[in-house]
Every structure is written in C-alpha cells, then in structure tokens.
Amino acid sequence: KKLLIAAGCILAMMAGMAQAQDRPLRIAFDVPYEPFEYKTPDGELTGFEVELARAMCEEMGRECEFVIQAWDGIIPGLLARKYDLIMSSMSITEDRAKRVLFSEPYYITPGAWFGKMKTKVDVTDMSAMEGKVVGVQRGTTMDNYVTENMSDVVDIKRYTTADDMVLDLESDRLDLTFVDYPVGEEYFLSEDNYKVVGEPVKLGKGVAVAMRKRDTELAEKINAALKTLKNDGTYDTIMDKYFDY
C-alpha cells in the first residue's frame, strides 16, 4: 500500500512538472518603447522584441503570453512571478545580474542625447551643461549614467514612461533627453525639428532576455532558440524590419 502511495506521489509530481512545462511562458514588455515594443493604432502589440519573442516561443515549442508592465516595476514583477521573462530592451548590467539571469545578448544599443534642432547645448562641456534639464526614463541605464556623472551639474527629470519624456522635449520642458539610440531615432529623427547631440554613450553589455536566477534550464533553451534564429536568418529578417543599421 505504501508503495502505491509513493507511486501515486511520483505520478502527481510528474504531472505537476509537465504542467509547469506546458503552461504558457509569460513575457513582460514596457510599452511604448518603439521600435522595441509598442502598440499599433489598432492596439496590437508589436516591435522588434515582440516579434523576436514570438519566433523564440515557436522555436521552443512553447505557447507564450504577453504582459504589459511598467518599467519601474519590471524586475520586481518577474521576481514575484507575475511573468517568466522580460524582453524590454533590458541591457545587461552588473547590478541587474545580481537579481536576474540574463540570456546571451541579442542586440546592442548605446544611449544617445536628443534635443531640438535649435539647441546649443553641448554635452561635452560640463560648464555649459549647468542647470540644463535632462530627461531620462527612471531606472534605466541612462538614468544611472546621468545620476552618476552629472547630478551635480544638470537638473534630472525622471519619467515613468518614455512617452511622457518625449512629450516634454517636444514642449520644451526639457533641454535634452537621453535614451536608447534607436528609440530616439524612431521618435525624433523622423522630424526635422530634432537632432542627436554629442556622441552616443556605450551603456551595459547588450540587450538580453531576463529571467529568474533559478531558471537555468529555461535560459539554456532560450539561448539555443536565439542561436537557431540567428543561424536560420529569422533574426536578421526581424532586425531589418525594425532597425536601419
């Protein structure tokens, strides 16, 4: 009888494990962060990482569910199991790597300064930067950079969403924004009214999928899937659609 109970337990455990395997992988995105992740006017979630996520899930044979999550709570939400993965242009940093496990990087983006065409702000001249208002998305590598290097000089405005930051530059409440280059390019460079100011700054060690520390098996599967997508051309096709370089 004991044996039966033991066997029953093992079966139940296996069923539990199979279930964990089969339930959809939940992936978090902070939108809008064009071209990485954003919604079309019809409300459909799209972008480089959204398409990459779809291809990755298909490659892994896993069903996926997409979750919208504000950036400032995106790591806490992962740790609280609200979702299993973050694919939100999250750059690998030492600090984050203490809390989450990163896949191999699938993109590299520097931070860049964007301002109005008319601006005379010079980011290389700290005395000229005195009192200038610089916008960043809160908790990003750009926020860390200005906080560490410029907080004595400039007035830093931190935004919950990239969208609000864009609006504030538009309405001259900011002198500059500091944002992932492709995002600034997408929002600003399509208009003649804006320009890149100074040189882009290398921040982090590339953008990667973030997951919980203990999900090492999942990380292996994700790395394998990303590798396949790079080798079979899927990755390049998606890249070409969203980035011009």
Q: Name the residues that contact ligand ARG, by CB under 6 A.
A: 30, 33, 36-37, 71, 88-91, 137, 140-141, 162, 180, 204
Q: In angstroms, give the least distance from the CB of 71 to ligand ARG.
A: 4
Nearer to ligand ARG, 111 or 115 (CB): 111
Instruction: Please answer whether residues 99 and 80 qualify as being in contact, where contact means their C-beta atoms are separated by less than 8 angstroms.
Output: no
- Residue 8's contacts (CB-CB under 8 Å, 6 or more residues apart) are none
Which tokens sit at 102? 């990163």
Q: In angstroms, give the least distance from the CB of 7 to ligand ARG.
A: 48
Q: What share of the chain is helix, strand, coil (3-state, %, to 5)?
A: 40, 25, 35
Q: In angstroms, give the least distance from the CB of 5 to ligand ARG.
A: 49
Report how far residue 92's alpha carbon sits from residue 77's, in angstroms, rounded to the nearest whole number.
Answer: 18
Instruction: Please answer whether residues 72 and 28 qualify as being in contact, where contact means their C-beta atoms are separated by less than 8 angstroms.
Output: no
Instruction: Please answer whether residues 188 and 167 qualify as being in contact, where contact means their C-beta atoms are separated by less than 8 angstroms.
Output: no
Nearer to ligand ARG, 103 or 140 (CB): 140
Nearer to ligand ARG, 44 or 192 (CB): 44
Nearer to ligand ARG, 89 or 234 (CB): 89
Q: In angstroms, give the least distance from the CB of 177 to ligand ARG.
A: 12
Nearer to ligand ARG, 107 or 235 (CB): 107
CB atoms within 10 A of CB 33: 26
Q: In angstroms, give the least distance from the CB of 166 to ligand ARG.
A: 12
- Residue 160's contacts (CB-CB under 8 Å, 6 or more residues apart) are 70, 71, 72, 137, 138
Question: Is the Cα dihedral 36, 168, 187, 157 positive or negative?
Answer: negative
* 57 SS3 class: helix
Nearer to ligand ARG, 47 or 115 (CB): 47
Q: In angstroms, give the least distance from the CB of 90 to ligand ARG.
A: 5
Q: Which residue has the tokens 């071209």?
A: 35
